[in-house]
């Protein structure tokens, strides 16, 4: 038998994010995320969390500058009101809707 390095399920990274639509530039957490925890999307390590992120909240999949569109469900849901790094929590403190700052 050839050893291909496969050791079973323990080698599969459990995903803790879901991207709802392929056009989304944010993902949603499937569990509470600790700061610097590995963020996993579709079985592959993507990057580390910049912040602690609560269950079912948004996390940036790219870096944003102020005014950049934040896309979830394939739709623009708001704009970044400050620089946001990939892996950072997106919530009312850094997201604006229609020119309104939420946080």
**SS3 readout for 51-67:** CCECCCCEEECCCECCC
**Under-70 pLDDT residues of the chain:** 1-12, 99-103
Residue 42's pLDDT is 81
Residue 100's pLDDT is 54
Residue 74's pLDDT is 97
Q: Which region, left, alpha or beta, applies to residue 56 given φ > 0 means left and ψ of -120 to 50 means alpha?
A: left
Architecture of domain 13-101: Roll (2.30)
């Amino acid at each position: 038998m050839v050893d291909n390095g496969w050791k079973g399920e323990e080698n599969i990274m459990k995903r803790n994010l879901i991207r709802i639509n392929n056009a989304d530039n944010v993902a949603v957490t499937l569990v509470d995320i600790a700061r610097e925890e590995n963020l996993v999307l579709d079985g592959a390590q993507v990057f580390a969390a910049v912040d602690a992120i609560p269950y079912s909240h948004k996390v940036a999949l790219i870096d944003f500058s102020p005014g950049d569109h934040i896309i979830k469900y394939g739709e623009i849901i708001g704009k970044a009101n400050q620089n946001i790094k990939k892996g950072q929590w997106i919530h009312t403190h850094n997201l604006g809707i229609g020119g309104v700052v939420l946080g």
